[in-house]
Amino acid sequence: MADSRNSRSSDGLGSASPAPAVTRAAAVLDALAASATGRLTLSDLARELGIPKSSTSNLLLALEEARLISRQGAEFTLGRKLVELGAAYLSRLDEVQEFYRYCEQAPMLSRETVRIAMLDGTNVIYLARYEGHPAVRLTSNIGDKMPVSLCAVGKALIARLNVHDIEDMFPDDAELPVMTPKSLRTGAELKAQLRTIRDQGYAFEDEESTTGVVCLAVSVPTRGAHGPSLGLSVTALKATYTEEQGSQMVKELRELARSLGNPMG
């Protein structure tokens, strides 16, 4: 029995998949995306996939020919073709086009940094970013992920989930990622904040991901039974932020959310 298990594990990632090459190709892209430098060698990727270097080399050659990865000396990086594919995906999301249109004419949001994000498990993925003439310059880019507990838009989105699902995701003693002294530390702290978000209808992040920056966010009503879970957020400097400013920001975010959630909008 032990020999059988060892034999299966030696086949590496994707051995149980109906299309092992596709599974392994996806794993290569994920590994490069997760790499701190964005670069990995053939040896690195062979270890990641758990398959021989010869098989990995053939896989990398096919990905390189498809322009999904790029070779730089002995290392590999993500290829520009992925940008084209991502742009094609976003261009077909009506919500993204409406997002930019609204931000350009909104009295308050047109002067700020506004983002639209999609829920992805315990993270959000940023789909688009509008920059008016903001004092806050954000380092996150389109396609970046952020843990939901660290951002207003993430908390606005998971606040909509079933309480039992949230409990499974974030037990009271769950340790959360920390970026500033004000970051939430435990699942219990997060769930207490989610109760406030449900009551007031929007999320407020107070320097929890970036010192000196606050953020407000709302969720977008889901369009259709299988629509993505989308959220909107806007940032401001803590030093100049006022409650009056925040109220106007939330008002415009809600108007935009209604527009995005309405198929006739």
CA distances from residue 102 to 21, 105, 118, 131, 159 in whole angstroms, order as listed: 43, 6, 18, 12, 25
Question: Residue 10: its pLDDT value, please?
Answer: 44
What mean pLDDT do residues 190-212 have? Answer: 95
CATH top class, domain 2-79: mainly alpha
The residues, any chain, with a CB within 8 Å of residue 215's CB and separated by 6 or more, are 151, 152, 153, 204, 205, 209, 233, 234, 235, 236
How much is the pLDDT for 21?
87
pLDDT grade for 176, boundaries at 50, 70 and 90? very high
What's the pLDDT band for 8 if we cut at 50, 70, 90?
very low
User: Is it true that 2-79 and 93-261 share their CATH fold?
Assistant: no
* pTM metric for this prediction: 0.66
Task: Map tokens 């790499």 to a residue.
Answer: 35
Q: Give the integer Cα–Cα distance in Å for 127 and 96.
A: 8
Spatial contact of 127 and 96, defined as CB atoms under 8 Å apart: yes
**Strand pairing partners for 116?**
128, 232
The 10s digit of each residue's pLDDT in 9-64 is 346 666 677 888 899 999 999 899 888 888 999 999 999 889 899 999 999 999 99
- Most distant CA atoms of the chain, gap in Å: 68
Please compute the mean of the pLDDT values over residues 241-262 and round it to a whole number.
Answer: 91
> What does the CA dihedral 205, 208, 213, 218 come to, rounded to 10 degrees?
-20
Average pLDDT for 160-179 = 94
d(CA 64, CA 58): 10
Torsion of CA 44, 50, 51, 57, to 10 degrees: -20
Q: Position of tokens 């009551």?
A: 199
pLDDT of 98 reads 81
Rounded distance, CA 149 to CA 155, Å?
6
- Model pLDDT, residue 260: 82
Q: Are 64 and 45 in contact (CB under 8 A)?
A: no
| Fold held by 93-261 | Beta-Lactamase (3.30.450)
pLDDT digits (tens, 9 = 90+) for 68-99: 999 989 999 998 788 777 766 655 556 777 88
Question: Which pLDDT belongs to residue 170?
Answer: 96
Domain boundaries along the sequence of the chain: 2-79, 93-261
What are the tens digits of pLDDT across the range 98-148?
888 899 999 999 999 999 998 988 999 988 889 887 666 665 677 888 999
pLDDT at 262: 58
Mean pLDDT across 210-231: 81
Give the residue ranges of DSSP H helices in the chain.
2-10, 20-34, 42-49, 53-65, 81-91, 94-105, 152-158, 163-169, 187-200, 243-261
